[in-house]
A and B are shown apart, each in its own frame.
Chain A
Amino acid sequence: MDMDLITNILFAAVRTGTPLLLVAIGELICERAGVLNLGQEGMMLMGAVLGFIAALTTGSIVTGFVVAALAGVLMSLLFGFLALTLSTNQYATGLALAIFGGGLSAFIGQPFVGKPVDGLHAIVIPYLSDIPLIGKALFAQDGMVYLSFILVPALAWMLKNSRPGLIIRAAGESPDSLHALGHRVMMVRYLAVMFGGAMAGLAGGYLSLAYTPMWNEGMTAGRGWIALALVVFAGWQLGRLMLGAYLFGLASILHLVFQGLGFDISPSLLAMMPYVATILVLVVLSRSRDNPALQAPAAIGKPWRPVH
């Protein structure tokens, strides 16, 4: 395998991992606040389709991404109203969101299937992008990739050191205690859910506006579910999340690797890889579950209501 191939594989791994990373960042924050939203797939698809339509009709990619994020937020508010205000079962509500988003996006997007859009362009940073092996992966990407580079450390710092971060962690740890201290648990959780929605929308938009770029029914292909596993893999830590997303990116582009190595394997079998990898990761994780730094937030997924 030559240097060029490795350079390109690293580039593609980061690029392929980015939509996973974006949606997983949102879900991680949401879970740290104690809310488990299984509807990532639905929010991503809605972001993808509405972002695509907006970009196509206005001709502006930026508008496309803004609309994608808003679409995700709207979907997340639907989830929030049920799972937070009405305190319904979060598993079932997330599932409903995934099914509903899948149906609604296919419905809305039908006339737009296969239409071309001018995708998001890469911003190549001079000199830095010429660094061997990693230069292209880190410095010849598009704006959304750079956004994720900034978001991960920024949010990690926020969670660890800032007051909002402390409140988010506390909401995921013991909403009752936080309520008793006079903080507004509902508002904290709503904001976390909405942030998760915005990130899922952006991730969907990334698929339809930058990665592919076009719209197709069910184009997320389970990335929303893989992101949920990624958050578990990351032990609810943002740094590990980034690493995990790129590893999954790598697993998704294995066909490139195999082509480079001269193997001939059925594309259907290779398409299985990210899903098999997810299962393997969950298995391996069960061995390291005792590390106290990587535990799930205590109140995750439990419906909570303030007592009056």
Chain B
Amino acid sequence: MTPLLEVRHITKEYPGCRANDRVNLCIDMGEIHALLGENGAGKSTLMKIIYGVVQPDEGELLWRGMPVNIKGPAHARQLGIGMVFQHFSLFDTLSVLENILLSLPAHEARDRLRVLRQLDDMGKRYGMHLDPHRPVSTLSTGERQRVELIRALLNEPQLLILDEPTSVLTPQECEGLFASLRKLAADGCSILFISHKLQEVKDLCQRATILRGGCVVDELDPRETDIDTMAARMVGSGTATHATTRPGVQGEAAISVHHLTLPGFSSHEVGVRDVSFTAYKGEILGIAGVAGNGQACMLRALSGEQLSQSDDVRIGARGIGRLNPAQRRKLGMAVVPEDRLGRGAVPDMTLVENALLTAADQGLVKKGVIQHGALRDWTSQLCKLFKVKTAGIDAQARSLSGGNLQKFIIGREVLQQPAVLVASHPTWGVDIGSAVAIREALLTLRDQGCAVIILSEDLDELFEISDRMTALCHGQLAPIKARQDTSVEEVGRWMGGDFSDTPPAAESSAIAAATAAHSDLPQENRHAQA
């Protein structure tokens, strides 16, 4: 049988990096095919080439056995290729319907009533209901993905490409998505499923192509391969894929938040509602949650970028809610924001200047005058200690790879020996080697007695390094539990907004209720669970 799509010897080069190197890929009719690889392996580039967003330097594509030159996304859709992007290409201020109309060819978009009817049919068939007149800005992340999916499906594609679709979903939402996808494949639509999460690939896909460093390293059947083998193929042999986890020793309270309620920055952003918790010295507190549920607001409230009532946030007994980020730093606070370029670091400035951004108090500025010599030494030391690969300390921040820049930023904060470190998505979009190094650095910092708070979407990571776990949903905080007392399922429910406790034994329900009420008192909590 002729494969639906065949990719032959595709090469694509960017300045300083060969994103795809003679890549071959073959997708059969009606199969769910996984494209596996870690961040930076070239998955995104390949899929953009297939969708016509990017033109390859060399190689060819065969569609149903015929060579094609896909000129652009419109052409790709015409052929029958649909795409759901990881970062949704939706328009916030437009309605669901308007978003869908934009993706249709002009002649089909003219008949709005027919489009509305199709929407309704689609919702019923695949279990994806949406109000077409709601502005996209009011939808949850999962609902937005549905808009993307429906938009792609209205074109009746024969090949649907999904770019890391589960990274924005709770585990429960993932199940729903997989059900829809299986139904779709049964209807004859092939699916190219891009991911780096091995378990879900094993659950869903019939075939997997593994990319590493821009090259195809293997093609295998994920149902018959165990996860460790796949992981090894993905990252190459000899690379550690896990930090050496070890439990922390909890000390006294370092930072606490008391009934914090704040609005988001815009009408599109979720704030936080009545959040209370305490983080203790020598522990890592993991806060799970799908982005867009108040994490940004929470991080700003902790860092000082958004002010609150003085006593809403405290370091020890001191209220710091009215202090700005520089003042909080002097009290031992360090922060790693979710945006590396354009917040954690200034893209066009050198590493030396970026070191000065938050580390002025390390004796690098005296009486308002910059100590250039000390600053350069400090930056060199930072790059050496944290193995930041760079052309030199005078390189611009934007010239570093994601992993190296993140090591630089984490290193800059860690080197200041903070009493409290708040990090948002510390390893997002980072290669596995750097991610392991970053987790290791966070664990070491914790062992030195720092209170570490991590906001992340990545449950695997949180379960790997956290001592206690909770989740944010719609700006509210779930109960806090010790890692060993909770489970992926429970945290998943928290992420979906279900904070109710379904304890394993009936008699502990009263205690559980008490735990939920006093979620900021971990001693009680731990005691009760024990």
- Check A176 for interface membership: any CB of B closer than 8 A: yes
Are A174's CB and B55's CB within 8 A?
Answer: no
Are A173's CB and B102's CB within 8 A?
Answer: no
CB closest chain-B residue, reference A291: B267
A180 to B72, CA, bound (A): 9
Are A182's CB and B89's CB within 8 A?
Answer: no
* Stretch from A67-75, A162-170, A211-219 forming part of the interface with B: A162-170
Are A166's CB and B102's CB within 8 A?
Answer: yes
Chain A 149-166: CB-based contact to B (< 8 A → 1; otherwise 0): 000000000000001001
- Check A2 for interface membership: any CB of B closer than 8 A: no
Chain A 250-289: CB-based contact to B (< 8 A → 1; otherwise 0): 0000000000000000000000000000000000000000
Assess A180 versus B89: contact at CB under 8 Å? Given A163-B106, A166-B98: yes
Are A174's CB and B91's CB within 8 A?
Answer: yes
Instruction: Quote the shortest CB–CB distance from B3 to chain A (angstroms).
Output: 25
Chain A 174-218: CB-based contact to B (< 8 A → 1; otherwise 0): 101111111100000000000000000000000000000000000
Are A183's CB and B94's CB within 8 A?
Answer: no
CB closest chain-A residue, reference B89: A177
CB closest chain-A residue, reference B106: A163
Are B74's CB and A182's CB within 8 A?
Answer: yes
A178 to B92, CA, bound (A): 12
Instruction: Kindly list chain A residues whose C-beta atoms are within 8 Å of the C-beta of B103.
Output: 181
Are A167's CB and B92's CB within 8 A?
Answer: no
Are A173's CB and B98's CB within 8 A?
Answer: no
- Check A229 for interface membership: any CB of B closer than 8 A: no
Partner of A181 from the list B54, B89, B93 (CB cut-off 8 Å) is B89
Query: Which residue, of B77, B89, B106, has the highest number of chain A Cβ atoms within 10 A?
Result: B89
- Check B101 for interface membership: any CB of A closer than 8 A: yes
Are A169's CB and B94's CB within 8 A?
Answer: yes
Instruction: Kindly list chain B residues whose C-beta atoms are within 8 Å of the C-beta of A174.
Output: 89-92
A183 to B102, CA, bound (A): 9
A9 to B514, CA, bound (A): 73
- Check B73 for interface membership: any CB of A closer than 8 A: yes
CB closest chain-B residue, reference A167: B102
A170 to B106, CA, bound (A): 15
- Check A4 for interface membership: any CB of B closer than 8 A: no
Partner of B94 from the list A170, A180, A182 (CB cut-off 8 Å) is A170
Instruction: Kindly list chain A residues whose C-beta atoms are within 8 Å of the C-beta of B267.
Output: 290, 292
Query: Which residue, of B55, B93, B101, has the highest number of chain A Cβ atoms within 10 A?
Result: B93
Instruction: Quote the shortest CB–CB distance from A269 to chain B (angstroms).
Output: 41
Instruction: Kindly list chain A residues whose C-beta atoms are within 8 Å of the C-beta of B91.
Output: 169-170, 173-174, 177-178
Instruction: Kindly list chain B residues whose C-beta atoms are within 8 Å of the C-beta of A295.
Output: 93
- Check A307 for interface membership: any CB of B closer than 8 A: yes
Main secondary structure of the interface of A (DSSP, over half): helix
Instruction: Kindly list chain B residues whose C-beta atoms are within 8 Å of the C-beta of A179.
Output: 53
Give chain B interface residues in 90-110, CB to chain A under 8 Å.
90-94, 98, 101-103, 106, 109-110
A183 to B72, CA, bound (A): 9
Assess A166 versus B93: contact at CB under 8 Å? Given A181-B103, A290-B267: no
Instruction: Kindly list chain B residues whose C-beta atoms are within 8 Å of the C-beta of A166.
Output: 94, 98, 101-102
Are A182's CB and B73's CB within 8 A?
Answer: yes
Instruction: Quote the shortest CB–CB distance from B167 to chain A (angstroms).
Output: 18
Interface size class of B (residues with CB under 8 A): 20 to 34
- Check B463 for interface membership: any CB of A closer than 8 A: no
Instruction: Quote the shortest CB–CB distance from B381 to chain A (angstroms).
Output: 37
Assess A308 versus B73: contact at CB under 8 Å? Given A163-B101, A173-B91: no
- Check A95 for interface membership: any CB of B closer than 8 A: no
Are A298's CB and B93's CB within 8 A?
Answer: yes
CB closest chain-B residue, reference A295: B93
Instruction: Quote the shortest CB–CB distance from B298 to chain A (angstroms).
Output: 22
CB closest chain-B residue, reference A293: B93
Instruction: Kindly list chain A residues whose C-beta atoms are within 8 Å of the C-beta of B90.
Output: 174, 177
Assess A180 versus B53: contact at CB under 8 Å? Given A166-B94, A292-B267, A298-B93: yes
Are B73's CB and A181's CB within 8 A?
Answer: yes
- Check B499 for interface membership: any CB of A closer than 8 A: no
A307 to B54, CA, bound (A): 7
Are A173's CB and B92's CB within 8 A?
Answer: yes
Instruction: Quote the shortest CB–CB distance from A241 to chain B (angstroms).
Output: 18
Assess A298 versus B92: contact at CB under 8 Å? Given A170-B102, A292-B267: yes
Instruction: Quote the shortest CB–CB distance from B69 to chain A (angstroms).
Output: 15
Instruction: Kindly list chain A residues whose C-beta atoms are within 8 Å of the C-beta of B55.
Output: 308
- Check B85 for interface membership: any CB of A closer than 8 A: yes
Instruction: Kindly list chain A residues whose C-beta atoms are within 8 Å of the C-beta of B109.
Output: 163
Instruction: Kindly list chain A residues whose C-beta atoms are within 8 Å of the C-beta of B77.
Output: 182
A178 to B106, CA, bound (A): 14
Instruction: Quote the shortest CB–CB distance from A198 to chain B (angstroms).
Output: 24
Are A180's CB and B85's CB within 8 A?
Answer: yes
A176 to B73, CA, bound (A): 12
CB closest chain-A residue, reference B110: A163
Instruction: Kindly list chain A residues whose C-beta atoms are within 8 Å of the C-beta of B89.
Output: 174, 176-178, 180-181
Instruction: Kindly list chain B residues whose C-beta atoms are within 8 Å of the C-beta of A178.
Output: 89, 91, 102
CB closest chain-A residue, reference B73: A182
List 5 contacting pairs A-B, 8 Å CB cutoff, sorted by A. A180-B53, A181-B102, A182-B52, A182-B73, A182-B77
Known: A163-B109, A166-B101, A177-B88. 18 other contacts (CB 8 A): A166-B94, A166-B102, A169-B93, A173-B92, A173-B94, A174-B89, A174-B90, A174-B92, A177-B89, A177-B91, A178-B91, A180-B73, A181-B89, A181-B103, A183-B74, A290-B267, A307-B54, A308-B54
The 10 closest A-B pairs by CB, nearest first: A182-B74, A177-B89, A182-B73, A180-B89, A173-B91, A292-B267, A181-B103, A170-B91, A182-B72, A174-B91
Q: What residues make up the interface of B, taking CB atoms closer than 8 Å to A? A: 52-55, 72-77, 85, 88-94, 98, 101-103, 106, 109-110, 267
